[in-house]
Structure 1
Amino acid sequence: MRYLAGFKGNMAMFSSSTGYGQFKRLLRHLLFWIAYYLYDGPISSIIEADPLSRIVIAGIAMPVKIAATYFTLYLMTTAYHDKSRPVRFYAYLLASIIFFGFMQRVVSYHLIYPKYYPQALDVPVWYLPKVIIETFGVYSVVAIVVVLHVGKQWYSSQQEKQQLKNDKLEAELKLLKAQIHPHFLFNTLNNLYSLTVTRSEKAPEIVHKLSELLSYMLHDSNKTIVPLQKEIDYIENYITLEKIRYEDRLDVSLNVFNAISHIQIAPLLILPFVENSFKHGFSNDIGKVWVNIDILISDNQLIIKVENSKSQSPSAYTTEALGGIGLANVRKRLELIYKDRYELNIINEETYLVILKIKISENELPGN
């Protein structure tokens, strides 16, 4: 009884669906049964000696087939939601097959045979071979519907899984991008603080440049991709900010070797590398720091190189120091966004060199 109660619950849940979704579902079912009837009746009647009889017989046989089909579907739905009793499911399924097979035999025996096949009345209604034939006739269409139903459920399940995967990816990316903002602000405000303590005249200019950077972070960083030129403009503003702070101690070269007007890139990907080069390029035992940034396109790849001088102090470039929030963050973002399309190499020798290669599609190349 408990199993049947669950079955009734599923029936109620299905019937309570309202609105456009229910209309579409009913329309699909109606069109299927119309198509099946046309095939089983009018179309198949073409090869019959008495086409009209075939059309009528197909109509008489339809109700049992429809009932068997929907009972089987909802039986499957109930079993799906209650996997703890598989034996009961198969018992109900077997009982329903026997029941609907015999019901079709009764319909044929009393409504079809007397008028169209009177010779078939020579054997009793419970004659097993005839019951089996009728059962196959009913469950051939049930099998078709079940296959279509399972296929649709599988497709919907795959779509839901993909949507969940996309939602999770989007949430992770938003979290990672959100981490960049406070990290960047922390470093920049530290710089601003040091200048205000010394009452430097450069402080107002830093505030102005910082506002420009924040404008990009607020309006463009939430996009999936941005023009590479915008990202470069952002980096140039950041470099200007650092030059104000370090004056002659900093020598920065930013080189773009190809036309990049058609290239798109995930926002705030380059900043962590540039920021890292400034952060670790300066230390107590080095006077002047140089940073070289190259951006080029080669062999369908966007190549970004960031190289900087470094202190010779062994403790200045430890593994922990080289990582930091920024680089750990960008590694995760690269893996989420580009997966197999990127290559990141970090070389820590005489200088500190970061090489990022991202494969770009043909329609992202300049001139296309």
Structure 2
Amino acid sequence: MDLLKFNQTRIFASHTLLWVGVWFFFVYFFSYNSTNSLYITWFSSILLPLTMLTTYTTAYYLVPKYLLQQRYLLFSLYAIYVLIFTAFLATVTMIGSFIFLSNLRVAETPPMSRNLIFIMILIYLVVGLVSFVHILKHNFNMLTQNKALENKILDTQLHIKQQELHYLKKQIHPHFLFNTLNTIYGFALRQSQQTPDIILKLSNLLDYILYQVQEKEVSLEDELKHIEEYLSLEEIRFQDTLEVSVTKQYNNPSITIPPMLFLPFVENAFKHGAILDGKLRILIDLKADDHELNFKIKNTFLNALPSETPQGIGLPNIQKRLDLLFGKNYTLEVDTQDSWYSVELNLKLNA
């Protein structure tokens, strides 16, 4: 309430100051070649309300309702009406001043006060100035509102993006844990001595999934470390029927990526891979520098019809995550050839 009163007071004060300035403006110009200060004072004072009426009608009615709405024909028409009406009242003001202020002694009146064109020019200088300021203020307010709306839209989009990423992560976690727990269950049934080691490795993976995965980015080394732990779990499960080759080439250990970026691909390789000639073969190749990252994984699989090509529940999710995280700064290619199923991911880093 206090702020509203302050704004109203500020607006009233600014308008009062404007019209006091306009009054002095009139006095200054009507004083040209004249010393009749009494006539000049009264004539400027009588002309001021007419100027105010024309200004407010143009700047606060015609401009916002017609000009800013791009209704130019109606604006021009009504502006002409206002011009004619103002000229009529200015003429009445001139005649009334001759009669009541100078007692028809026209020669004693200021020369400029007898020139209708000059009077109209003065009035419309004020009208033009106020209208110009009003249009500038309107444009500034529109820019401010558009900027605020744009920021609100961006904040909303960011929130939606974060929620979708969180949803996708939640979809990945249960599937990943389900496979790992199945491995432990099988060894526990056999009362294998490797069970404690498997549980320890799973503990490290759980720490990564439940805590570190909440981070926006993790180091590439951490991601590869947990991939290797997952591979070691699978090596225990598959024993001699698994052959894994991991090749890594990167020169900057500080490279960061979103967490759980490669694990779903590795998981799908085991889920949909097939043992051929006594081995499930998985080849992982990673190359990275400060600008680009290339991750490729291949696994053996049984030849299937195109409609039966394994996709896995992780691949669609990871594609959605990549769209949200990298936009157009990535490519993902899937290929099947000679009993090999391969996925290749190329990322542009720091793009």
- TM-score w.r.t. the length of structure 1 is 0.64
Which deviates the most, 326-335 or 127-136? 127-136
2:286 is paired with a residue whose SS is strand
Conserved 8 A contact 2:247-2:284: yes
Aligned to 2:35: none
Q: 225, 228, 231: which is aligned to 1:233?
A: 225
Instruction: Return the index of the structure with the highest Cα Rg.
Output: 2
Structure 1 17/269 Cα, relative in aligned 2: closer, same or farther at 3 Å? farther
RMSD: 4.6
Q: Does residue 313 of structure 2 align to residue 325 of structure 1?
A: yes
Conserved 8 A contact 1:256-1:295: yes
1:332 is paired with a residue whose SS is helix
Deviation at 1:333, TM superposition (A): 0.8
Which deviates the most, 326-335 or 202-211? 202-211
- For 2:243, the aligned partner's letter is D
2:297 is paired with a residue whose SS is strand
- What whole-Å deviation, never above 9, does each CA across 1:138-172 have from its counterpart, x for those lacking one? 21211111111111112222211221121111111
Q: 211, 214, 219: which is aligned to 2:206?
A: 214
Structure 1 119/166 Cα, relative in aligned 2: closer, same or farther at 3 Å? farther
Structure 1 253/245 Cα, relative in aligned 2: closer, same or farther at 3 Å? same
**Percent of pairs identical after alignment?**
30
2:332 is paired with a residue whose SS is strand
- What whole-Å deviation, never above 9, does each CA across 1:205-231 have from its counterpart, x for those lacking one? 222211110101122212222111111
Aligned to 1:292: 283
1:199 is paired with a residue whose SS is coil
Distance in 1 (CA, whole Å) between partners of 2:60 and 2:281 is: 74
- Matching of residues 81-96 of structure 1 within 5 Å: none
Distance in 2 (CA, whole Å) between partners of 1:160 and 1:17 is: 25
Structure 1 326/72 Cα, relative in aligned 2: closer, same or farther at 3 Å? farther
1:221 is paired with a residue whose SS is helix
Structure 1 303/319 Cα, relative in aligned 2: closer, same or farther at 3 Å? farther
Distance in 1 (CA, whole Å) between partners of 2:132 and 2:110 is: 25
- What whole-Å deviation, never above 9, does each CA across 1:216-259 have from its counterpart, x for those lacking one? 11222122221111111111111111111111111112211222
- TM-score w.r.t. the length of structure 2 is 0.67
- For 1:306, the aligned partner's letter is I
2:250 is paired with a residue whose SS is coil
Aligned to 1:10: none
Q: Does residue 344 of structure 2 align to residue 355 of structure 1?
A: yes
Structure 1 339/352 Cα, relative in aligned 2: closer, same or farther at 3 Å? same
- What whole-Å deviation, never above 9, does each CA across 1:15-36 have from its counterpart, x for those lacking one? 6879xxx99xx7xx99xx7xx9
Conserved 8 A contact 2:336-2:342: yes
Point out where structure 2 has 5 or more consecutive residues left out of the alignment: 32-43, 65-69, 102-108
Point out where structure 1 has 5 or more consecutive residues left out of the alignment: 1-14, 51-56, 77-85, 363-368
